[in-house]
Structure 1
């Protein structure tokens, strides 16, 4: 057991709750810096922290002053972002108080897709052709230059929020009207009024789960992804390790590492999204933290016995890092979605999933009475379940077969619809 340290997490939520849990279980003193005292209950980490500090996590100075004005001034051993949106703010404050972490400029680039694309281009890392736009006129000129179909997306959001696949000028006008009205994202972070028009990348999608030291990977794994039908890009299945295109794994990993270097991440964890196009791997985006969507918290643990969150806490504390695969299996996570708008009543067959010995967890994220719709972002998914197998093919095929047995049920005697 390492010495007990004082570890602060900025706004634990979603994947970031795993950070707090790991540090708490290691015996460290866990401080949560939050925008509201209600957030531990909201995000499900009551009982796994020792104290709260309230700050405006969107504002560097508020975060800094909250720390230096707290009982933990000059006592923190680590300051760790536990939500994507506060990663650059956290990095800047960590630099100010002399703690290690992702460099501020690298965190800023990973949070802002236009800055990242510029860095990839500067360092000859294959990604997508792009133009930054503000208006419909800008967007139309960019789309005509790049060539339809194109992708329109915000520069600083996540979870596929307002990401559009667009075939023509009419679709572009409709999407621009919607995205211009999108002003505030999660946790009240402002949406920048600059957007990206990007070349649509063909081919299957993957993510690379990485831990790098001095610019080289000490751990890597490639996750296979299935996404919803166009025009949306919602992830509906992850399989780790990949069951397909294994002959390209080394190339995919190397491209991901090159992208990290381009934006300045040379130490610590990362989650890099890649498409294997007809011209080779090309970068979608880089995140300087462990993968979310249950990839790091569940799939890596089930497939390899690897706890990236533990390694990450040790990295921030400058403790020894030892990432070793304890076994070689595979795991998949399948997400259930609605195929239309309606009032959610439940998912027929869902309660019986855990009777299968190879299903390790099944969880609903929608509640009876919720208004649900065809999945346009990750927020619209209704629930998930996780399967394991001796091979990626086994885990994936079981997940897909079980998903076919589920039926989304709607209120008011509406017609039942097969799960998406």
Structure 2
């Protein structure tokens, strides 16, 4: 086989853009899905036509290794959290010792081994327990002095703030525990235990990186704005990109390097979410894959670079970039539905295209679709990317977008089981 190929594991949503970036450099993208059919949570973003071939993992790793080896690939790259473990396994089989630490693979996917890896490495993090036993949880809360403190309960192997619940000080945590235990997360995995953590109060940031041979390069640092709806926390509202000379960047970068070492990240992309508290940085979670949704587009607008571009340059040109610049103020605005219902007249969002700093619009639902109440990233209505010459210009257009969002007509209605998302419209 003479043509160069690359293997992309679970390249849903924004990770599908790897395909275009590699094709532009003469490399053929091949997709591997970790499941026999696309994950339901990402079905609307699955675009098989963007890949030369699609293979499915049936559980026989040896057979999949033979299939992948026949492509003589440049690399195996995870496109989503669901692809991290399989990417690690394939890389170790094809190029032993060249990928991330195989002994710590679970710590890069499962939040419980992740917390224990940070503890072993002495990296500050929220106190954490994973259990299926209410009494064990109650005893742990008493022993750690967290009984009357705010808590966060979440699945161990999900993402996008799926089912993340906050329990206020003095509130009974057991109903949230019971609601999570035994449920199925957005990746189709049963929540056979629940992760309990002390709530870390502060400002949340995302540090996106690309590493080569254990050396970590920072691609971008962004500040999150999120909101709370009842006990659901972490509903995405906005992302703003920081300048490299912001004093918080150095602090967050140093902490991210400590986290990467603790969980064995040595090569490739990582997306690390950190709460900057009064006591310093505390990990929310890290994922050994690129930042998803529209964050590759927004990073390019903000910095002129992104994780996809760094991946391609490293694999094809041997290039490694350690730092970043900020070229212009850039903001991502996520759109939310305050209640479930039928979306009518969603074309009102087109008004955003006329704003001076408008760059791109993503819509998750067409007119006439039933939309759920927004509770996490998966139930967002879409997003708007803004970038301009000044912060004040972006702020002015942010107010205009929020006004447009408030005028989105959503008529209360029951869901139609035959109707679902038809895919992201992005332009």
| Cα-to-partner distance string for 1:213-269 (whole Å, 9 max, x where unaligned) | 4444333421011011253212221111269x9332211111111111111113332
Q: Name the residue aligned to 2:420.
A: none
Match of 1:45 in 2: 47
1:137-165 CA distances to partner (integer Å, 9 max, x unpaired)?
A: 33333344324210011111111111110
For 1:413 and 1:291, the matched residues in 2 are separated by 34
Given that 2:269 and 2:307 are in contact with CA atoms closer than 8 Å, whether structure 1 keeps it comes out as yes
Q: Which of residues 71, 77, 97 is equivalent to 2:74?
A: 77
Do the aligned partners of 2:80 and 2:289 also contact (CA within 8 Å) in 1?
no
Alignment of 1:161-176 (within 5 A): 161-167=162-168, 171-176=172-177
The unaligned stretches of length 5 or more in structure 1 are 415-420
Q: Secondary structure at the match of 1:350?
A: helix
For residue 340 of structure 1, what is the aligned residue in structure 2? Answer: 339
- How many residues get paired? 403
1:65 to 56, 60, 63: 63
> Which whole-Å CA distance do the structure 1 matches of 2:184 and 2:217 have between them?
40
* Residue 101 of structure 1 pairs with residue 105 of structure 2: no
Q: What CA distance in whole angstroms lies between the structure 2 residues aligned with 1:140 and 1:394?
A: 50
CA change 1:165–1:325 in 2 (3 A) is closer
> 1:226 touches 1:236 (CA, 8 Å); kept in 2?
yes
Aligned to 2:183: 182
1:210–1:269 contact (8 Å) kept in structure 2: yes
CA distance in 1, matches of 2:257, 2:115: 15
**Structure-2 residue corresponding to 1:13:** 12
Q: Which residue of 1 aligns with 2:299?
A: 300
1:246 — aligned with what? 246
Bigger mean CA offset, 262-271 vs 368-377? 368-377
| DSSP 3-state at the match of 1:77 | strand
Q: Tell me by how many angstroms 1:94 deviates.
A: 1.7
**Change over 3 Å in CA distance of 1:140–1:325 after alignment to 2:** closer
Which sections of structure 2, spanning at least 5 residues, go unmatched?
415-427
Aligned to 1:360: 359
Offset, 1:333: 0.9
Contact 1:344 1:411 (C-alpha < 8 Å) held by counterparts = yes
**Aligned-partner Cα distance in 2 for 1:38–1:84:** 14
The normalised TM-score by structure 2 is 0.84
Contact 2:204–2:224 under 8 Å retained in 1:
yes
Structure 2: distance between partners of 1:4 and 1:399 = 46
Distance change in 2, residues 1:391/1:88 (3 Å): farther
8 Å CA contact 1:239–1:396 kept in 2: the answer is no
Equivalent pair of 1:23/1:313 in contact (CA under 8 Å): yes
Aligned partner of residue 211 in structure 1, secondary structure? strand
The corresponding residue for 1:417 is none
Distance 1:322 1:274, change over 3 A: closer
- Residue 161 of structure 2 aligns to a residue whose secondary structure is coil
> Which residue matches 1:402?
401
**What is the aligned-residue RMSD (CA, Å)?**
3.0
State the match for 1:222 in structure 2: 221
Cα 1:29–1:272 shift into 2, 3 Å: same
Q: Pick which of 284-293 and 166-175 moved more.
A: 166-175
Aligned to 1:418: none
Any residues of structure 2 matched to 1:322-341 within 5 Å, and which?
322=321, 328-341=327-340
